[in-house]
Amino acid sequence: MKEDGFIGRIEKRGNGYRFKIYDGYKADGTQNIVTKTWIPEPGMTERQIEKEANRQLVLFEEEVKNGTAVDCKIKFETLANEFLKQIELEGKLKTLWIERLNDCKERTYNAIGHLRMDRIKTSTVQNFINNLAKDGTNKQNGKGLATKTQKIYLSFISDVFEFAIKCKEMKLKNPCEGVNTIYVPTESKDCYDLEETQKFLDLLCQKAQFKYVVFFTIAIFTGFRKGEILGLEWKDIDFENCVITLSRTSLYSKRKGIITGTPKTKSGFRSIKVSEQLISMLQKYKDEQDKQKEYIGDAWHETDRLFTAWNGLPMGPDTPRHWLQKFCKKEGLRYVNVHSFRHFNASILIDKGCNAKDVSSYLGHSCPSTTYNFYIRLFQKAEAKASKAISDCINLNVGG
């Protein structure tokens, strides 16, 4: 078929057909050839196949004329690298999310990087996710990758295909639609109970450096995430009204070091009323920091952060964990991670009858369903407790 300088041909290849469009010549004098593979639907007769093949060739020629035809034979790794460069140049995504996507490259490329975009099917992606969930994939604990991590890999592959479809105008279907992640049991949300927390707090107040007393008191009484606490600045503390406002988080980037980011969700921007005792502790801590600032002099870096290194620069993200490990070992306490104090806070709220919506708002979750699903056992326990309270108050006599 020839029209307006375009020459199109159909070649039978296995179960499918390859369309070749000879579209003039390149600058080096070689022919510019654009190809596309088409596979007939099962059950089509030879006459139907011939008719549809010619129709598909005409459509393909139109795509070439309009400049919308892209060779779908490009390999996944090639396109994925282009996608990663593009999103970094755009600067619309958070630095840490871009880093997480880059961290997905090695495993993803080993599995499907060599495959052509048009050869990657839903089953291909599902097999990859299934393998991520197998024991031994996670080198740290010998288990499969957590469901949350699997979703990041799935998002990476899906984003590359959406980039191909929308930005490159490739005629593809996103194979990630219909792919399911695999549930991999993770460590339980282990945290101190009320008695252990009280013991920890008592020892903390007696033996710890004051800034760590303040840090972990905030963690216990507010349920703030570690990054949210490290991101607090003095301007966020309303001493008069006993309110703490969260509007940033302190994070660590492999390339940039400590960076300031926004809360995890829109709901993460929140203001919480706290006790007068905690506000008094914060005032004392501010006075102590001001004295340190005066003592350090010109070596002090003014960041306005509550929790800093000796010279005023933001405290490192691993510092609270390292300190807690040493403190627990020295005092003979069971070690739980820093995030566990957030779980403790949530468990107290739920035990005292707060519903999912209130707890979600307090913790800064994106929606109540997230909170309920995350702490479903605690909510079920609280609901059973409430049901028993009703039963204990009212006698039900059913006649025979």
Q: What is the DSSP string of 45-101?
A: -HHHHHHHHHHHHHHHHHHHHHT----TTSBHHHHHHHHHHHHHHHT-S-HHHHHHH
CA distance linking residue 36 with residue 18, whole number of Å: 6
Q: Is the pLDDT of residue 170 over 70?
A: yes
Q: Which helix (H) or strand (E) holds 146?
A: none
Domain 76-167 belongs in CATH node 1.10.287? no
Check: CB of residue 342 under 8 Å from CB of residue 378. no
31-38 vs 237-238, strand pairing mode:
unpaired
78: tokens are 């090639």
Check: CB of residue 122 under 8 Å from CB of residue 179. yes
- The three-state secondary structure class of 364 is coil
Q: Chain-wide mean pLDDT for the chain? A: 87
Q: What is the pTM of this model?
A: 0.66
pLDDT digits (tens, 9 = 90+) for 91-111: 877 888 899 999 999 999 999
Task: Please give the pLDDT value at position 1.
Answer: 43
Greatest mean pLDDT among 6-10, 16-20, 102-106: 102-106
pLDDT digits (tens, 9 = 90+) for 300-348: 999 999 999 999 999 999 999 999 999 999 999 999 999 999 999 988 8
Task: Please give the pLDDT value at position 57.
Answer: 86
pLDDT digits (tens, 9 = 90+) for 255-296: 889 989 888 778 889 999 999 999 999 999 999 999 999 999
Q: Is the pLDDT of residue 23 over 80?
A: no
Any idea which residue has 């703030």 for tokens?
A: 224
CA distance linking residue 234 with residue 304, whole number of Å: 6
Task: Please give the pLDDT value at position 284.
Answer: 97
CATH of domain 194-351: 1.10.443.10
Rounded to 10°, the helix 356-363/340-351 angle is: 150
Q: What is the DSSP letter of 167?
A: I
pLDDT digits (tens, 9 = 90+) for 50-92: 999 899 888 888 777 765 555 567 889 999 999 999 898 888 7
154: tokens are 């799935």
Task: Please give the pLDDT value at position 282.
Answer: 97
Give the domain ranges of the chain.
2-66, 76-167, 194-351
